[in-house]
């Protein structure tokens, strides 16, 4: 946007119900972004139905009133835990295998999509951030673990989205407690995700803002007023956040470089992680994991962006090179032909762990991680979390 805006006469139209003032990153003298209708207002919402607003300092869920509910957590670990505690619930997050994702997404669209009947169901959909923008779906009641003003407005947009439920909708914002702490502190898993996508201090400011409207009934238009007022009030703090994320993005771009691969298997389609440049930060790799009940069977393919480094993100310790080489030998003895570690194993005396990680950019030589296993009900899950659920 900065290059287009400053060095060409091209014009771009950006459309969002949750705009942020990042245009300041590319505006220049004589070339200013035109904001419609203006920087302090939205266009009118699609309907004027009122939402009952609830603000809670911890997650509370009355299962006796289970009615087409959507519960969104920020971290996968929290969503997995509470899915196990809510009967007649389904779990949605990005770390299921491809076939499970297809089945789950079809179910969502068939039951909550725009062309579904959307009858009231005594059911709860537990999800992570994937539900707030990826699907054109509508629920009667919404619950969200507080993240940011943008996330709240996106999530609110999945509740009574098509104005066709007869009952009155509700929307609850909460901050889940840390289950491992005796003190009433905010969940560490949730805070970690907030730091990646937003900022914990700014999140708390937004939570305090929403708390003023606890037990009120608000329309979407009234919510837009609250949203715009908040962004203007904390404009200076938000500018610092946008600039910080911008610098981090530039650093990620500087880390991208080409890698040469030999002996490509022409019988299988080999994909490069992060090949969609519009949705890539340049640090993506592929990986596989062991099945939860069989450490000789591996499940994949999964991809992830590395936010810190592999050792920290995958909780690695010990002689990882030796461990991974052993797993590769096991895999090569199976009939899983989509994986091909022959080149690595032929040079195992000389290959390093960094080289193995670089090979993980390709779908036929994924990395192997051991801090998680795959469970059909919970997807990718850490062994500790699976033990806690069980």
Question: What CATH number should be reported for the domain holding residue 133?
Answer: 3.40.50.300
Residue 366: burial class (beta carbons within 10 Å; 0-12, 13-18, 19+): buried
Q: Choose among 134, 140, 135: nearest CA to 172.
A: 140
Overall number of domains in the chain:
2
The DSSP bridge pattern shows strands 89-92 and 124-127 to be parallel
Residue range(s) defining the domain that contains residue 366? 277-389
Q: Token digits for 109?
A: 């669209």
The DSSP secondary-structure symbol of 63 reads G
pLDDT score, position 59: 94
Domain boundary among 214, 236, 258: 236
Give the domain-ending residue among 178, 205, 236: 236
Whether residues 77 and 222 share a domain: the answer is: yes
Contact 64, 162 (CB under 8 A): no
* Residue where a domain terminates, one of 236, 266, 301: 236
pLDDT mean for each 10 residues of the chain (390 residues): 84 88 85 90 93 96 90 96 94 92 93 83 93 88 97 95 90 93 89 94 98 97 96 95 90 68 58 63 86 90 87 92 93 86 87 91 92 95 88
| Calpha distance 92→83 (Å, rounded) | 10
| Residue 222 in domain | yes
């Amino acid at each position: 946007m900065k290059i287009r805006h400053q060095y060409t006469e091209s014009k771009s139209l950006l459309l969002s119900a949750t705009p942020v003032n990042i245009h300041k990153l590319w505006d220049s003298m004589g070339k200013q972004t035109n904001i419609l209708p203006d920087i302090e207002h939205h266009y009118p919402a699609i309907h004027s139905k009122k939402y009952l607003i609830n603000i809670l300092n911890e997650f509370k869920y009355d299962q006796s009133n289970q009615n087409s509910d959507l519960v969104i957590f920020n971290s996968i670990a929290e969503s997995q835990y509470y899915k196990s505690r809510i009967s007649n619930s389904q779990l949605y997050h990005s770390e299921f295998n491809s076939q499970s994702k297809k089945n789950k997404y079809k179910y969502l669209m068939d039951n909550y999509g725009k062309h579904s009947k959307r009858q009231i169901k005594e059911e709860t959909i537990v999800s992570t951030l994937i539900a707030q923008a990826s699907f054109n779906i509508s629920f009667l009641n919404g619950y969200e673990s507080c993240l940011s003003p943008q996330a709240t407005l996106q999530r609110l947009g999945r509740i009574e989205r098509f104005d066709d439920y007869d009952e009155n909708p509700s929307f609850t914002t909460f901050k889940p407690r840390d289950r491992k702490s005796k003190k009433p502190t905010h969940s560490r898993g949730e805070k970690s995700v907030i730091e990646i996508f937003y900022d914990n201090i700014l999140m708390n400011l937004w939570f305090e803002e929403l708390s003023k409207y606890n037990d009120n009934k608000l329309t979407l238009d009234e919510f837009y007023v609250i949203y715009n007022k908040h962004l203007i009030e904390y404009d200076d703090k938000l500018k610092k956040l946008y600039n910080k994320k911008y610098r981090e993005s530039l650093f990620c771009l500087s880390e991208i470089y080409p890698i040469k691969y030999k002996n490509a298997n022409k019988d299988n389609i080999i994909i490069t992680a992060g090949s969609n440049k519009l949705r890539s930060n340049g640090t993506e790799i592929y990986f596989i994991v062991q099945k939860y009940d069989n450490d000789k069977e591996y499940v994949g393919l999964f991809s992830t962006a590395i936010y810190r480094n592999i050792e920290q993100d995958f909780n690695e310790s010990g002689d990882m090179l030796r461990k991974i080489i052993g797993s590769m030998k096991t895999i090569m003895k199976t009939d899983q032909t989509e994986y091909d570690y022959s080149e690595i194993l032929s040079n195992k005396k000389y290959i390093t762990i960094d080289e193995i990680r670089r090979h993980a950019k390709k779908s036929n030589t994924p990395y192997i991680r051991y801090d998680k296993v795959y469970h059909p009900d919970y997807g990718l899950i850490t062994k500790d979390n699976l033990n806690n659920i069980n």
